Amino acid sequence: MTVQSEPIKRKRRPFFLRRGPMENIATALIALGFLMLFQPFALVFYTWSLVTLLAGTVMFIVVSKFPE
Amino acid sequence: MSVINSDTTILEKEPERAATSRPASLARRIGGLSDRAIAWLFITPTIALLLAINIFPLIWAVRLSFTNYRANRPNAVVESVGLQNYQRVLTDSDIWIAMQTTAHFVFWTIVLQTLIGFSLAYLIDRKFRGHAFWTTVILIPMMLSPAVVGNFWRFLYQPQIGLFNYIVSYVTGVPPSSFEMLGSVSLAPWSIIIVDTWMWTPYVMLICLAGLRSIPDYIYEAAEVDRASAWRQFWSITIPMALPFIMLAVLFRGIENFKMFDMVMLLTGGGPGSTTEVASITLKREAFESWRTGRASAFAIILFVAVFGLANIYVKALNRVKQR
Amino acid sequence: MSNATSAHSVVEPSATTKRIAGIIVVLYAIVTMVPLAWIFMTSFKSPPDSISYPPKLVFTPTLEGYCNLFTTRTRQTPEYIQSLGPPQSTCDEITRSRNMVIAGPSNYWPRFTNSMVIAFGSTFLAVFLGTLAAYGFSRFRVPLADDLLFFILSTRMMPPIAVAIPIYLMYRELGLSDTALGMILLYTAVNVSLAVWLLKGFIDEIPREYEEAAMIDGYTRLQAFRKVVLPQATTGIAATAIFCLIFAWNEYAFAVLLTSGSAQTAPPFIPTIIGEGGMDWPAVAAGTTIFLVPILVFTILLRKQLLRGITFGAVRK
């Protein structure tokens, strides 16, 4: 099992160039943006929610072009 | 290439067929277009329409969001103000409160609709007699116009004469004129949540039902062989297998309720005071009552970015469901 | 296959479970129908009956609500009404019994017609464009197809108010504000995204072999599209059309911001129906009832395709 998966593992791209994990990070970023937009605790978070949302969305679009 | 070849050979073999086929040489010329040309010919009109009616205005809104333009003063000098509009919107505590109102509305509608919708779907999936008919009956509210629904619920919520107050007082014994669903600060947000839940629970139910029906029987049969309890089966088979569908419904309701306008506008118009003023209503006031078009555009772009981010996740969820 | 031999399969719920589930679902369905039934009943009540306490379940039905919906009335002295000839119609009679005479038609019917023109016009255009685009995406290798499809879908997700600001300015420049054409174009743009996604799903299900066989028989690509694909896709096209129709019929946000007079549709008009001294609830209920009946019919027609429609064609059951 380990012997077989070894060469495949070596060929795989690092996680920051693969679609799956990066899409999850982007999704988390968008979710975080929403939390910041919606939270009632600190105005600062609300102020920076747009930047977070924008970063997450742009990242999502870019990352969805990456191979699996 | 091969298409054209086969076309010509057929024409050579059957001259009478070519002669009787429609005389329009133009049609023949278009008909002989390459697949590539046809593909573009078919797709371009749609894209062009969307560019003209959706994307061009959006770009215009982005441009306006950096200016102090006011739509009710078309002749005034328009100055660029840089990021000031965004700064104002994102530090305005009234708009921040509107966001919290929206959050309250989105959160509770999603919780209620998911709970009731999933339970209903689970019960309907027991396949009792006549379940198809009753499912159709349950689905009716979600097809109606939210504005018209909001308007007639305003009638049901009337403090003295409304059916809602009457039923509540009949059940609980509270006098029907002692509470105002739409007029009181504490109840108005809930009156909106009730109507939205009434209207959109069927939506969540329908998608959950599809999720439950997509679970193959053999998984349950295998669990039965393993003597897994019904409770155990529910939590380790039903819920995980239906989860992508539930997520799909939640995301879509989230997007829709985040931009909710018509129903709330007709029910409370944002009142009393600004207790039910959700983001879209604030935006409408900024844009079409205060006529601060530039600032409203900035706010619109912020809402758009948020919805666009969710839409990305939604399409990902759609694709995941599609593979099933 | 084992169902025939064994009493019931292991996953088949027991009779008691079924009965309990059935009772709960039926109860929910009945509760959910109460508001609609109430509106329907109110439309046949007289104004005093509609605002009586406790709410009246039993009442003498009258057409007053419908009369008030379709007419405008003026108050007159009883002497003047006596001096008129015999009433021309039931509505005339009801109106006179309230010491009023009919002054003319109300705006409801023109608004209803606007709704129909705009809904049908935009549906036709959206389905026409959508069918072409869906065929293009379904059968040909289009560069960046996924991105284009996402772009098409995302336009539907936009918050209407956010788009309404620049559309309002654009229509003001082009002279399209408060015109049926402007509304048709706008609703077409919103609906075409749904039409493309739904129809792509339906066309994907038609085997390519049909067209290929037709093309070997001498049809061109376009002829094959018209004579083979379109007939096969009729159900899908009809379902898509009904979805587009329902959206355009129900839409409020754009309508209230972009139309005010001649092109106003029914949803922004119905809430503005008011009577003498307070809301004329029977008239509002009558307007609502007439407005909702087409949707009820469509829902029943569509029930098998609903799931597909609300998930943009992703879930096909």
Distance from CA of C80 to the nearest CA of B (A): 34
Q: Which residue in A has a C-alpha nearest to residue B278's C-alpha? A: A38
- Both B176 and B274 in one domain: the answer is yes
CATH number at residue B175: 1.10.3720.10
CA distances from C90 to C102, C267, C286, C290 (A): 12, 27, 16, 19
At residue B106, the 3 state secondary structure works out as helix
Domain count, chain B: 2
Q: Would residue A8 count as lying in a domain?
A: no
Q: Is residue B82 part of a domain?
A: no
Nearest-angstrom CA–CA distance, B101 and B275: 7
Choose the closest CB to B305 out of A40, A43, A53: A53
Inspect the interface and report whether the beta carbons of B315 and C166 lie closer than 8 Å: no
Q: Kindly state whether residues B135 and B24 are assigned to the same domain.
A: no
Report which residue type is found at B190. W
DSSP B67: B
Total domains in the fold of chain A: 1
Is the CB of residue C96 less than 8 Å from the CB of residue C155? no
Whether residue B272 sits in one domain with residue B179: yes
d(CA B70, CA B84): 15
Task: Enter the pTM of the model.
Answer: 0.87
Q: Are residues B176 and B48 in the same domain?
A: no
Q: CB–CB of B90 and A34 under 8 A?
A: no
Say if the Cβ atoms of A30 and B103 lie within 8 Å.
Answer: no
Query: What pLDDT does residue C231 have?
Result: 92
pLDDT at position B22, please? 45
Tokens of B28: 């023949």
Q: pLDDT tens-digit profile of C62-110?
A: 998 999 899 888 888 888 888 888 888 888 888 888 888 888 888 899 9
pLDDT of residue C268: 92
Q: Are B26 and B173 contained in the same domain? A: no
How does pLDDT run across C238-275, given as a tens digit for each residue?
999 999 999 999 999 999 999 888 899 999 999 888 77
Examine residue B11 and state whether it is found in any structural domain, yes or no.
no
**Residue type for position A47:** T
Which domains, from first to last, does chain C contain? 109-266 (1.10.3720.10)
Q: Are residues B164 and B241 in the same domain?
A: yes
Which C residues in the span 82-121 are in contact with B, Cβ-Cβ below 8 Å? none
Instruction: Give dist(CA C300, CA B132) in Å, integer.
Output: 11
User: Binning pLDDT at 50, 70 and 90, where does residue C317 land?
Assistant: low
- Whether the CB of B318 is below 8 Å from some CB of chain A: the reply is no
Question: Does A1 reside within a domain?
Answer: no
B309's enclosing H/E stretch is helix B293-322
Residue A68 located in a structural domain = no
Residue B149 in any domain: the answer is yes
Partners of B73 on chain C (C-beta within 8 Å) are none
Whether the CB of B93 is below 8 Å from some CB of chain A: the reply is yes
**pLDDT tens, N- to C-terminus, chain B (324 residues):** 333 333 333 333 344 444 444 444 555 555 567 888 888 899 999 999 999 998 899 999 999 999 998 888 888 888 888 899 999 999 998 999 999 999 999 999 999 999 999 999 999 998 888 888 999 999 999 999 999 999 999 999 988 788 998 999 889 888 888 888 888 899 999 999 999 999 999 999 999 999 999 999 899 888 888 888 888 999 999 999 999 999 999 999 999 999 999 999 999 988 788 899 999 999 999 999 989 999 999 999 999 999 999 999 998 888 888 876
A7, part of any domain: no
> What's the pLDDT tens digit per position in C132-172?
999 999 988 888 888 888 888 888 888 888 888 899 989 99
The answer to whether C11 contacts chain B (CB < 8 Å) is: yes
Cα–Cα distance for residue pair B110/B104, rounded to 1 Å: 10
Do the chains contact at B100 and A56, CB–CB below 8 Å? no
- Residue B148 burial (CB count, 10 A): 26
* Average pLDDT of the residues in A17-46: 91
* Whether A30 and B100 lie within 8 Å, measured CB to CB: no
Q: With H, G, I as helix, E, B as strand and everything else as coil, classify residue B216.
A: coil
Residue B13 located in a structural domain: no
Q: Is residue B269 part of a domain?
A: yes
Q: Are residues B174 and B313 in the same domain?
A: yes
Q: Which chain B residue has its CA at the smallest distance from A28's CA?
A: B313
Within a domain: A44: yes
- Residues B239, B219: Cα–Cα separation, whole Å: 13
Q: Does residue A29 lie within any of the structural domains? A: yes
Task: Confirm if B154 and B182 have CB atoms less than 8 A apart.
Answer: yes
Q: A44 — contact with chain B (CB < 8 Å)?
A: no
In a domain, B245, yes or no: yes
Structure tokens at C8: 């019931």
Mean pLDDT of C289-305: 89
Contacting residues of B for C122, CB less than 8 Å apart:
none
Distance from CA of B210 to the nearest CA of C (A): 6
Q: Which residue has the higher pLDDT, B323 or C185?
A: C185
Domain hosting A33: range is 13-63
Locate B138 and state its tokens. Answer: 């349950």
Nearest residue in A to B87, CA atom: A47
> Residue A3 falls within a domain, yes or no?
no
Do B225 and B189 share a structural domain?
Answer: yes
Q: Is B308 an interface residue toward A (CB < 8 Å)? A: yes
For the residues C113-117, what does the mean pLDDT come to? 94
Place of tokens 């609703």: C187
* CB atoms B100 and A38 under 8 Å: yes
User: In this complex, do A46 and B308 lie within 8 Å of one another by their Cβ atoms?
Assistant: no
> pLDDT value at position A31?
93
Kindly list the distances between the CA atom of residue C224 and the CA atoms of B38, C213, C232, in Å, as whole numbers in the listed order. 12, 9, 11
Compute the residue count for chain C. Answer: 317
Interface test with A, best of B85, B86, B90 (most A CBs within 10 A): B90
Is residue C50 very low, low, confident or very high in pLDDT (cuts 50, 70, 90)?
A: confident
Q: Are residues B227 and B287 in the same domain?
A: yes
Peptide bond connecting B272 to the previous residue in cis, omega within 30 degrees of 0: yes
Is A33 within 8 Å of B306 when comparing Cβ atoms?
yes
Q: Are residues B163 and B29 in the same domain?
A: no
B54 and B114 inside one domain: no
- Per-residue pLDDT band for A18 (boundaries 50, 70, 90) equals confident
- Supply the pLDDT for residue C163: 87
pLDDT in the model for residue B50: 92
Could you list the residue range(s) of the whole structural domain that residue B26 is in? 19-64
Handedness of CA C125, C128, C132, C138 (dihedral sign): positive
- The amino acid present at B16, given as its one-letter code, is E
Of all residues in chain C, what percent carry a pLDDT higher than 90? Answer: 44
In angstroms, the separation between the Cα of residue C99 and the nearest Cα of chain B is 25
B280, B193 contact by CB (below 8 A): no
Kindly determine whether residue B38 and residue C221, on different chains, have CB atoms separated by under 8 Å: yes
Shortest CA gap C82–chain B (Å): 35
Residue B75 lies in a domain: no
Check CB contact of B323 with chain A, cutoff 8 Å.
no
The residues facing C105 across adjacent strands are C71
CA distance B77 to C121: 39
Mutate to test the interface with B, among C1, C6, C25 (most CBs of B within 10 A): C25
pLDDT of residue B36: 82
Residue B274 to residue B102: CA distance in whole angstroms: 12
Q: Which residue has the tokens 């504490």?
A: B186
Q: Determine contact: B83 vs chain A, CB below 8 A.
A: no
Q: Which chain B residues are within 8 Å of A38, Cβ to Cβ?
A: 99-100, 102-103, 106
Classify residue C271 as exposed, middle or buried by CB count within 10 Å of its CB (0-12, 13-18, 19+). Answer: buried
Q: What is the DSSP string of B246-273?
A: HHHHHHHHHHHHHT--HHHHHHTTT-ST
> What's the pLDDT at C8?
43
Average per-residue pLDDT in chain C?
Answer: 88
Cross-chain residue pair C314–B318, CB shorter than 8 Å: yes
Of residues C114 and B178, the one with the higher pLDDT is C114
Examine residue B8 and state whether it is found in any structural domain, yes or no: no
Q: Give the pLDDT confidence score for residue B211 in this predicted structure.
A: 92
